[in-house]
Chain A
Amino acid sequence: MDFVTLGGNLLGTISLGDIVLYVTPFSLFLFVVLLIFTLLIAISKTETQVEATFNKLGNTNVKVGLKEFKQRRFLSVICGIASAGAMITGDLFNFTLFMALIGILNIGIVSAVKQTSVLNSAYQYGLIAMMCSLPLFGGASIILASTGTLCLAILSQMHANPMVIFGAVLMLLGVIGESGVAPFFASKAEMFRTPGSPFIVIIHLSSLFIIVRAVEIFLLILW
């Protein structure tokens, strides 16, 4: 399947050896949205989360400390840039690398939080992400071994043999686990209970957009 059928008219290509970056309305839209969100994250302060207090009538204001704020903002901005890279890349291996980086950064963004339930959730998500890095890279390796290339422009013109289909299934497992979407979001949702709205939004945004991009990539490879 070609880019035009999936993402709209081809606006341009950037050829870097056998890695060909391509720009369609679809990839451009995702890329620009991620950069806008990354910019907003870079300039935003965190909210003050108001929580009910047990056995008292008053509320508790939960804030993000300065040191924690700096750490989490740095990781969130990197996560935004990595996600934007995953939207525009034309190379399967680059996509898996960006995916793995996003998984690590998602854990990092909440690991500075001092809430047991949130840390437990991040730990469980971390275990899933670690386990799923094997099928993620394994799938890409199998596709490389059976076709001799990881360039999406070339893969999109090839007929999908059984090994490519097997590799794509493994990659799908890897993407689902690394991004922590269904059926793994049950553990990931707990991570969002922590304050720090600008930082946790990139966790959700990167996961959703990675899935959207993965749909395009799998259709490119398989049909």
Chain B
Amino acid sequence: MADILINVIIAFLAGSLLLGLHRKIMARVQKRPGPPIIQHLLHSLKFFFKETAFPKTVSKPFYIGIVFILAAVWIVGVIVGPVTKNSLLILFGVYAIYKIVEHNSGSSSGSPYGKLSCVRAVLSAATELPLFAVIVLVYLKTNTMNIGGIISYQSVNGSLAVSIPLAALMFFLLLLTKSPYSPFAITKDKALVSGFETEHFGFLRGFIMFAESISWYVMLWIFLTIFFGHLSVVGYIIGMIVITFITSFINSVTPILNPNHSVMSQITIGAVCFVGTLIMIFI
């Protein structure tokens, strides 16, 4: 229990600081000073103490419950990943629920911005395909879904990033999609204000930001672990900072794609990488 609590706190703090760093780098690339790196963490904590109001139009149990579900599923993500190193399939399920939260927090508010974000969340389920493909490819290569087993495989046979680089590229595409201000972030397009988060404020937004920080940490941890094996603490820190730097650089110089282009780009890149990796594994 203490192990879970410590890991959740580490995930929240590290995720918040990495997202703060992400925002800082984006600002510096765009020749702005940007907020301090700690700003995302301060924002998350601040929202827990702000006054909360519920719009008249909301579907209440879902409007409130969905943010708790979001926080809970990413805590499950921490338990399945860094704590117990369990099955990758459960993490696939966790990510699927994240898509549902995007969908429902948008639609349950009654806001037209949230609603459009909800419809786009259905379209953006295309991001599930690269994740699904990566999990299958890793399984074909290592014969296990267990993260502990994948680490053991790499300690004997070397890093998966070297043997199946296109699968690593596909997973990186998923990280890029999840990162703030991504060219694929069609559910949070600024034309939709804040998309599915538009009508969530006060402690509800605090929970959303808490979950987003944990999710960023968990996704980076999974990527580094399943493609580079077990790293030291310093290795994880350096890896997470490098990936955050790369995604922030890409996001700061790339405009957001329209929904159709976003979905087709993801499916095309996913399909090419999937077929390429299959050829590398079997030939």
Complex Cα spacing A47 to B64, Å? 13
Complex Cα spacing A185 to B76, Å? 28
Interface residues of B in 146-161 (CB under 8 A from A): 146, 149
Q: Given A49-B110, A201-B62, A215-B132, does the pair A5, B145 have CB atoms closer than 8 Å?
A: yes
Complex Cα spacing A61 to B118, Å? 18
Indicate if the CB atoms of A200 and B59 lie closer than 8 Å: no
Interface string of B72-114 (1 = CB under 8 A from A): 0100100010000011011011001101100110011111100
Complex Cα spacing A165 to B118, Å? 37
Indicate if the CB atoms of A209 and B96 lie closer than 8 Å: yes
Which residue from chain A places its CB closest to the CB of B101 in the assembled complex? A201
Q: Given A33-B97, A192-B107, A208-B100, does the pair A48, B62 have CB atoms closer than 8 Å?
A: no
Complex Cα spacing A80 to B73, Å? 18
The number of inter-chain residue pairs (CB within 8 angstroms) is 136
Contacts of B92 in A (CB 8 A): 212, 215
B136 near A: Cβ within 8 Å?
yes
Interface residues of A in 179-219 (CB under 8 A from B): 181-182, 185-186, 188-189, 192-193, 195, 197-198, 200-201, 204-205, 208-209, 211-212, 215-216, 219
Contacts of B61 in A (CB 8 A): 40, 43-45, 198
Indicate if the CB atoms of B86 and A25 lie closer than 8 Å: yes
Indicate if the CB atoms of A50 and B110 lie closer than 8 Å: yes
Interface residues of B in 227-243 (CB under 8 A from A): none
Total contacting residues, chain B, CB less than 8 A: 51
Complex Cα spacing A219 to B139, Å? 9
A74 near B: Cβ within 8 Å?
no
Indicate if the CB atoms of B123 and A185 lie closer than 8 Å: yes
Contacts of A208 in B (CB 8 A): 96, 99-100, 125, 128
> Which residues of A line the B interface, CB within 8 A?
5-8, 24-26, 29-30, 33, 36-37, 40, 43-52, 61, 181-182, 185-186, 188-189, 192-193, 195, 197-198, 200-201, 204-205, 208-209, 211-212, 215-216, 219, 223
CB-defined A-B contacts under 8 Å, sample of 19: A6-B145, A8-B86, A26-B87, A29-B90, A37-B100, A46-B59, A47-B58, A47-B108, A48-B56, A49-B115, A186-B123, A193-B115, A197-B59, A197-B118, A198-B108, A204-B99, A209-B96, A212-B93, A223-B139
6 closest A-B pairs (Cβ-Cβ)?
A47-B59, A197-B107, A47-B110, A48-B57, A197-B108, A208-B96
